[in-house]
Amino acid sequence: MEVIMVDQEKCTGCHQCELWCGNEIASVSKELPLAINEDPQPVPRVHVEGKRFALQCRHCPDAPCITACPNGTMRRDPESGLVFVNEPTCIACWMCVMVCPFGIINPSSSLKVAVKCDRCRNMEFPICVEVCPTNALKLVDRKEAAEINP
**Is position 83 an interface residue for another protein (rule: CB under 8 A)?**
no
Site string for another protein, 5-34 (x = CB under 8 A): xxxxx----xxx-xxx-xx--x----xxxx
The Cα 38–Cα 40 span in angstroms is: 6
72 touches another protein (CB under 8 A): yes
Is 94 one of the binding residues for another protein (CB under 8 A)?
Answer: yes
Residue 62 in contact with another protein, rule: CB under 8 A: yes
- Which of residues 30, 112, 123, 135 is near another protein by CB under 8 A? 112
* CA–CA distance, 117 with 56 (Å, rounded to integer): 6
81 forms part of the interface with another protein (CB under 8 A):
no
**Strand runs (DSSP E) across the chain, as ranges?**
2-6, 47-49, 53-55, 74-76, 83-85, 106-108, 113-115, 137-141
Q: What is the DSSP letter of 108?
A: E
Closest distance to another protein from the beta carbon of 56 (Å): 11
Phi, psi for residue 122 in degrees, rounded to 5: -100, 10
Tell me which of 28, 30, 77, 89 binds another protein, using CB under 8 A: 89
Q: Which is nearer to another protein, 121 or 140 (CB)?
A: 140
Longest dimension (CA), the chain: 46
- Paired sense of beta strands 2-6 and 106-108, if any: unpaired
Q: Residue 4: CB partners within 8 Å, gap ≥ 6?
A: 56, 119, 126, 128, 129, 137, 138, 139, 140
Contact positions vs another protein (CB under 8 A): 3, 5-9, 14-16, 18-20, 22-23, 26, 31-37, 41-44, 47, 49-51, 53, 55, 58-62, 64, 67-72, 89, 91-95, 97-107, 109, 112, 131, 133, 142, 145-146, 148-149
